[in-house]
């Protein structure tokens, strides 16, 4: 990987295995919007970003400086992880071999713990289009406007002032009561997300499962997408269908990177089952 800082942009070349469509619009993050020119715009880590690829395959981070790139986006896009090698390992599995050939370039985004946890509480028994709709309303109503018409994900402190009715007004439905308690408990420190992130996987999962409105699926999504646990393997309605292809359990080549395998299988399922 090579990084070049220009006047307003950061240009990153020689990044293997990063397809923007597959990574930003695959149901792991809900805040990226494809623009007419094919680029993606969104807010993450409190920064507005427009990202695209040029004709050479270089990544262009527009209006981004060294601090936000090094301090946030480099990790957010998981740029220091060797996904090419990971994919070679996963391709020992027959189903993944063809799936990775077809959908090469899915990465796990390292989202912030609070945004990921909150987003996946909203995601339960819900479809991706509506999840995005609710989260965009939440951000527009309670986030900070970090660019013209683009809002940050509101902090737990900010959301801790809301009532269940406020969350219902955003269209959260029956999840509103979960969000009210979660926001208050995180804001008060009763739930310590940074501490959870520092725990071993099993203990971190146990902590998340204690949260009202968080079951095994939401916990695993939060662990994988917000707490950097690559072994977490979320099973939702789509993955339940995929699991019929693995009656003897997950293959050994998934060890330690189950979550990355899962993301390819999830994408395959949504397109083929």
- Which residues are at the interface with DNA (CB under 7 A)? 26-28, 120, 123-131, 133, 168, 171, 173-174, 211-219, 221, 234-239, 262-263, 266, 270
CA 121 to chain centre: 13
Which one-letter DSSP state was computed for residue 187? H
Cα dihedral across residues 202, 203, 205, 209: positive or negative: positive
Which CB atom, from 41 or from 123, has the smaller least distance to DNA? 123
Which CB atom, from 10 or from 44, has the smaller least distance to DNA? 44
Report d(CA 247, CA 191) in Å as an integer: 37
Which CB atom, from 10 or from 87, has the smaller least distance to DNA? 87
- Both tokens of 134, joined, read 């609710």
Question: How many residues belong to the chain?
Answer: 273
C-beta of 239: minimal distance to DNA in Å? 5
CA dihedral angle for residue 187, residue 190, residue 196, residue 197, rounded to 10 degrees? 20
- Both tokens of 175, joined, read 């999840």
Which CB atom, from 15 or from 211, has the smaller least distance to DNA? 211
C-beta of 21: minimal distance to DNA in Å? 14
Which CB atom, from 41 or from 220, has the smaller least distance to DNA? 220
C-beta of 241: minimal distance to DNA in Å? 9
Which CB atom, from 41 or from 263, has the smaller least distance to DNA? 263
Which CB atom, from 28 or from 152, has the smaller least distance to DNA? 28
C-beta of 157: minimal distance to DNA in Å? 23
C-beta of 74: minimal distance to DNA in Å? 22
CA 247 to chain centre: 28
C-beta of 193: minimal distance to DNA in Å? 17
Report d(CA 33, CA 52) in Å as an integer: 12
C-beta of 22: minimal distance to DNA in Å? 11
| Full DSSP string of 52-112 | EE-TT--EEEET--HHHIIIIIHHHTTTTS-HHHHHHHHTTSHHHHHHHHHSTT-------
């Amino acid at each position: 990987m090579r990084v070049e800082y220009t006047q307003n942009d950061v240009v990153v070349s020689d990044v293997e295995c990063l397809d923007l469509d597959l990574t930003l619009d695959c149901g792991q993050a809900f805040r990226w919007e494809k623009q007419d020119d094919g680029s993606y715009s969104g807010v993450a880590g409190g920064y507005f970003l427009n990202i695209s690829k040029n004709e050479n395959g270089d990544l262009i981070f527009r209006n981004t400086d060294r601090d936000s790139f090094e301090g946030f986006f480099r990790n957010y896009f998981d740029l220091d992880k060797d996904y090419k090698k990971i994919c070679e390992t996963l391709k020992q599995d027959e189903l993944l071999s063809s799936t990775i050939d077809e959908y090469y370039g899915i990465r796990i985004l390292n989202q912030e713990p609070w945004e990921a946890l909150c987003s996946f509480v909203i995601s339960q028994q819900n479809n991706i289009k509506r999840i995005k709709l609710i989260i965009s309303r939440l951000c527009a109503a309670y986030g900070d406007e970090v660019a013209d018409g683009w809002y940050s994900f509101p902090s737990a402190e900010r959301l801790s002032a809301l009532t269940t009715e406020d969350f219902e007004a955003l269209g959260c439905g029956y999840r509103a009561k979960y969000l009210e308690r979660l926001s208050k408990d995180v804001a008060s420190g009763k739930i310590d997300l940074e501490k959870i992130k520092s725990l071993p996987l099993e203990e971190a999962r146990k902590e998340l499962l204690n949260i009202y409105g968080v079951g095994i699926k939401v916990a695993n999504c939060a662990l994988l997408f917000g707490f950097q646990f690559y072994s977490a393997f979320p099973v939702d309605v789509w993955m339940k269908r995929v699991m019929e292809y693995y009656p003897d359990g997950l293959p050994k080549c998934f060890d330690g990177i189950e979550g990355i395998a899962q993301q390819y299988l999830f994408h395959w399922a949504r397109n083929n089952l």
